[in-house]
Structure 1
Amino acid sequence: MTTRPEVNVPTLPVAEVDDFQAFADHLPQLAWIATPDGNAYWYNHQWYQYTGTTPEEMLGQGWQAVLNPAVLPDVIERWFAAVASGSAAEWVFPIKGADGVFRPFLTRVQPQKDQQGRVIRWFGTNTEISEQQRIAELLSEEKRHLETLNQTMAQVSAELDLEKLTQTITDAGVRLTGARFGALFYNTTDERGDAFTLYTISGVPKESFSDFPNPRATHVFAPTFRGEGPVRSDDILADPRYGQNPPYSGMPKGHLPVRSYLAVPVKSRSGEVMGGLFFGHPEPGKFTARHEDLLVGIAGQAAIAIDNARLFEAAQREIAERREAEKHRELLINELNHRVKNTLATVQSIIAQTLRTNSLEAEARSRVDARLIALSDAHNLLTEHNWEGTTLDRVVAMALRPHQSDRERRFEVHGPNVHLSPKTALAIAMALHELATNAIKYGALSNDHGQVSLHWKVEQKNAEQRLHMLWSERGGPPVSPPSRKGFGTRLIERGLAAELGGSVQLSYPASGVTCVIDTPLPTVSGF
């Protein structure tokens, strides 16, 4: 048995020295005492037990033998800096145990000084902090994981581009697991609805995989592609599932080296397997249960994000298809309108040629032309809205514009915004044309001061909306009822009453013509 040097405590009685020795030997920390110039001359029992050294080996600067050579110069420098300054100090460095393993210790040194402030000895303790460092590293790693998860979730929740989205997820998986490389294989469809598989890769260039086929449903990959759950192997080369599927008895030639293997399926909330996350490392035993849990969480978020991206892409395709269909529809409507106008022009030409050799007066020809032009203008207005209808104020403006010229201030027009179906719009446009033409020829607009008011409103009658319009003239020459019903009157009555199920009341008081129109308002799509 070796004998340790006695503690030099000359001021203490022997009994107290023994008490100190017993106290120091039962401390959980390593403890020691050094001379004022820094030479250690006493260590407690814990020191010798941990380091496996003897008192003789530790005298003077013998403690340097149990320090890591890599940190020894720094420890010596800091220790003698404390000795020179006479100040307490603490720092962390590894100390080798009897088993040859270096473990981190928190070392604290405290000087004992006399009444004049001179250092008479140094007390030191070394507290092993392996567990504290392990916990600190775990907390630091967990913090990095949470930061990666939060950053990834924020990115994927705002990303709708499928390629960028899957790359973000794959990169996050590599960072979370410490994998050397990772890949996300996922299923998608093109604009024709054909299904195919794409992938993103992280940690190595994409060209590293470009010469190899996509993973098949082998014994290793099948659980992932079937959505059965995670697959984790400390050494895939030693896994009984590895190399069991021809033509490859394992990895193809030139494949990235994989020993540690971790794969997680990406499944939607409906249970659809969208793809799989795959991660590898050339060294064995790199992936833990914690890594597996993290990837399961990432895969769940990936499924939601991929589902959203798919819906967005499908919506974009549908929007593009609708736009294309709308363009085609507009083209057809414009072509139809062009042909209608050509037909009207042909009718107008035939009538003109017929009436030219007829005894009918020029006024008749002018009326026919005006009616055809009014009908053509109404078609143009409806074409601007793809024949989905238009508004009453636009119909009124279009119908009255040819008759206003310098008479604009003589029209009083007022009414709410009302949406009309194409059929209603055409009938009202032709009725207003006939009323305005009659007012110019015989009524309030035939002199310089007569006026026309046109008011309308919408009323609800028995769950049906009805349009009520009032045309009234004043200030013109005295009016009397016509001796016979002309074509214009019949046109108004046929267009509004017969075709629309409305009613028309034409009155001829001496003060001026009035026309009350009451017609149902059909529901108009697109407004």
Structure 2
Amino acid sequence: MFLTRARPLRNADGKIDYWFGINTDISALQAATAAAEEQRRLLETLNRTAAMVAAELNLDRMVQSVVDAAVQLTGAKFGAFFYHVPQPTGEAATFYTISGVPREAFSSFPMVRATEVFRPTLQGEGLIRSHDITADPRYGKNAPYKGVPEGHLPVRSYLAAPVVSRRGEVMGCLFFGHPEPGRFTADHETLLMGLAAQAAAGIDNARLYEGAQRDIAERKQAEEDRLIILRELNHRVKNLFAVTVGMIGMTARTTSSTQEMAQALTGRLRALASAHDLIRPNVASADQKAHHTHVGKLIEKILAPHVSAGEGQIKQEGPDIRVGTTGAASLALVLHEVATNAAKHGALSRDTGRIAVSWRVEGEHMVLNWIERGGPPISGPPQRKGFGADLAHMSARGQLGGDIVKSWNPEGLEIVLRASLERLEA
């Protein structure tokens, strides 16, 4: 390309006799200007990417931005980031994000395995650039594809770099391709090395942020759990006093001597303590070994302190359903609440009262029916809903994965409790 400058030379009459000019070859200047503009564009992209990586704590957005920038800087047809996944049979990486082509172009293909071509990148040995990967002696050496899978995007120019953390951990790999050969240069290598380092720092930061967020959430949940436990403890202590007072009265009415009363009352208090032990394993138990019981045994333990009229006051029937430590705590809590209510206001508050408890398996759930008869007449649901009722509902729905429904019939309370068999056995 030439730049021409000319001026006319005129005679006395003002006519142009000659032209005087200079032709300057500006090809080198144009090339230098274009190169400077390209460098400016690259620096802007790098600076923008570096600022984004430093500020972005969302892992998905950060990685996507790095891959987008690398495709723009290298001129690749497509680029992808794969997470490093150690396998028993060797190193591998699973697809994470892509740029330049739709995600579906990669998502259906298997993980990148440590083939002859991919192994150096997966093991963090360094960057690889190939003018034509199909002509590389390492290409097509591994079964079953002997190259790329059928339907894969065509690749001739190939550029790949590991993303290595400050601790030396290979966190993933950046892969870029183009269907034409010879598209990647040494400058592109340098750019990709810088972007891989930025990606490593960004992933480290995002992981630290996610870990901090998890810690905060766990601490918040632990505080909420602690408050619930304190409320539960306060509620249960009040109930224990109320039940103990009731048991003393019932025992006094059914015994003829102080010795007999002491023996009966001691037994009932011990049974109440045994029921409490079934509720507490995940709160304050010194014995953290896994224990299992069955629904029938758990019902017997929970109801034993409340029975005043001897055999026949409680009738229970159902199959053996295995209950684990966590399930026992949750189910015992629900049973404790309904039994305490029965002892204070329902069938167990009178010697003539009776309770029928039956349970069965329906699909993936246990269905338990609690039917009270012979207690005080019921005019309807209580006017005030206490914490015990809320606690029973929370345990049934949250910990047991089911629900609890109460019917306040005139002849007596009826309860239907559903609980997940999987949750019960936990």
User: Which of the pair has the greater relative contact order for Cα pairs under 8 Å at 6+ separation?
Assistant: 2
Please state how far the C-alpha of 1:279 moved relative to its aligned partner.
0.6
Please state how far the C-alpha of 1:187 moved relative to its aligned partner.
3.8
2:96 alignment partner in structure 1:
199
The superposition leaves residues 194-248 of structure 1 with CA deviations (integer Å, 9 ceiling, x where unpaired) of x983411100001011221121111111111111110000011111111111111
The amino acid across from 1:180 in the alignment is K
Asked if structure 1 preserves the Cα contact closer than 8 Å seen for 2:122 and 2:172, the reply is yes
1:158 alignment partner in structure 2:
55
2:372 alignment partner in structure 1:
none
The amino acid across from 1:170 in the alignment is V
Question: Alpha carbons of 1:245 and 1:346: their partners in 2 closer, same or farther (altered >3 Å)?
Answer: closer
Distance across 2 between alignment mates of 1:129 and 1:281: 33
Question: Alpha carbons of 1:244 and 1:347: their partners in 2 closer, same or farther (altered >3 Å)?
Answer: closer
Task: Tell me which of 311, 333, 337 is aligned to 2:234.
Answer: 337
Asked if structure 1 preserves the Cα contact closer than 8 Å seen for 2:82 and 2:93, the reply is no
Question: Alpha carbons of 1:350 and 1:252: their partners in 2 closer, same or farther (altered >3 Å)?
Answer: closer
2:383 alignment partner in structure 1:
none
Task: Tell me which of 115, 135, 140 is aligned to 2:32.
Answer: 135
DSSP 3-state at the match of 1:242 = coil
Distance across 2 between alignment mates of 1:332 and 1:324: 12
2:117 alignment partner in structure 1:
220
Asked if structure 2 preserves the Cα contact closer than 8 Å seen for 1:268 and 1:304, the reply is yes
Matches within 5 A, 1:425-440: none
1:245 alignment partner in structure 2:
142
Asked if structure 2 preserves the Cα contact closer than 8 Å seen for 1:187 and 1:198, the reply is no
Task: Tell me which of 143, 152, 175 is aligned to 2:72.
Answer: 175
Please state how far the C-alpha of 1:277 moved relative to its aligned partner.
0.7
Number of residues paired by the alignment? 245
1:258 alignment partner in structure 2:
155
- The question of 1:306 aligning with 2:203 is answered yes
2:214 alignment partner in structure 1:
317
2:301 alignment partner in structure 1:
none
Distance across 2 between alignment mates of 1:121 and 1:214: 75
1:326 alignment partner in structure 2:
223
- The question of 1:276 aligning with 2:159 is answered no
Q: CA RMSD in A?
A: 2.6
The amino acid across from 1:323 in the alignment is K
Distance across 2 between alignment mates of 1:126 and 1:240: 51
Mind listing any 5+ residue stretches in structure 2 that lack a counterpart?
87-91, 250-426
Question: Alpha carbons of 1:196 and 1:186: their partners in 2 closer, same or farther (altered >3 Å)?
Answer: closer
The amino acid across from 2:2 in the alignment is F
Distance across 2 between alignment mates of 1:350 and 1:241: 84
The amino acid across from 1:328 in the alignment is D
DSSP 3-state at the match of 1:265 = strand
Matches within 5 A, 1:105-504: 105-114=2-11, 117-187=14-84, 197-343=94-240
Please state how far the C-alpha of 1:346 moved relative to its aligned partner.
6.8
The percentage of counterpart residues that share the same residue type is 60
Please state how far the C-alpha of 1:129 moved relative to its aligned partner.
1.9
Distance across 1 between alignment mates of 2:142 and 2:244: 80
Asked if structure 1 preserves the Cα contact closer than 8 Å seen for 2:67 and 2:81, the reply is yes
The amino acid across from 1:178 in the alignment is G
From the CA coordinates, give the structure whose radius of gyration is larger. Answer: 1
Question: Alpha carbons of 1:196 and 1:337: their partners in 2 closer, same or farther (altered >3 Å)?
Answer: farther
The amino acid across from 2:141 in the alignment is Q
Mind listing any 5+ residue stretches in structure 1 that lack a counterpart?
1-103, 190-194, 353-527
Distance across 1 between alignment mates of 2:199 and 2:125: 17
DSSP 3-state at the match of 1:110 = strand
DSSP 3-state at the match of 2:137 = coil
The superposition leaves residues 435-456 of structure 1 with CA deviations (integer Å, 9 ceiling, x where unpaired) of xxxxxxxxxxxxxxxxxxxxxx
Question: Alpha carbons of 1:323 and 1:188: their partners in 2 closer, same or farther (altered >3 Å)?
Answer: farther
Please state how far the C-alpha of 1:320 moved relative to its aligned partner.
2.1
Please state how far the C-alpha of 1:326 moved relative to its aligned partner.
2.0
DSSP 3-state at the match of 1:326 = helix
Asked if structure 2 preserves the Cα contact closer than 8 Å seen for 1:260 and 1:282, the reply is yes
The superposition leaves residues 497-521 of structure 1 with CA deviations (integer Å, 9 ceiling, x where unpaired) of xxxxxxxxxxxxxxxxxxxxxxxxx
The amino acid across from 1:167 in the alignment is Q
Please state how far the C-alpha of 1:188 moved relative to its aligned partner.
7.9
Distance across 1 between alignment mates of 2:163 and 2:53: 15
The amino acid across from 2:168 in the alignment is G
Distance across 2 between alignment mates of 1:236 and 1:346: 81
Please state how far the C-alpha of 1:131 moved relative to its aligned partner.
1.7
DSSP 3-state at the match of 1:199 = strand
Asked if structure 1 preserves the Cα contact closer than 8 Å seen for 2:84 and 2:122, the reply is no
Question: Alpha carbons of 1:350 and 1:259: their partners in 2 closer, same or farther (altered >3 Å)?
Answer: closer
Distance across 1 between alignment mates of 2:108 and 2:244: 71
Distance across 1 between alignment mates of 2:175 and 2:76: 10
Please state how far the C-alpha of 1:115 moved relative to its aligned partner.
5.3
Distance across 1 between alignment mates of 2:32 and 2:126: 30
Question: Alpha carbons of 1:241 and 1:196: their partners in 2 closer, same or farther (altered >3 Å)?
Answer: closer
DSSP 3-state at the match of 1:201 = strand
User: What is the TM-score when the length of structure 1 is the normalising length?
Assistant: 0.44
DSSP 3-state at the match of 1:126 = strand
Distance across 2 between alignment mates of 1:229 and 1:342: 68
The superposition leaves residues 22-58 of structure 1 with CA deviations (integer Å, 9 ceiling, x where unpaired) of xxxxxxxxxxxxxxxxxxxxxxxxxxxxxxxxxxxxx
Please state how far the C-alpha of 1:351 moved relative to its aligned partner.
12
Please state how far the C-alpha of 1:344 moved relative to its aligned partner.
5.5
Distance across 2 between alignment mates of 1:107 and 1:341: 103
Question: Alpha carbons of 1:196 and 1:229: their partners in 2 closer, same or farther (altered >3 Å)?
Answer: closer
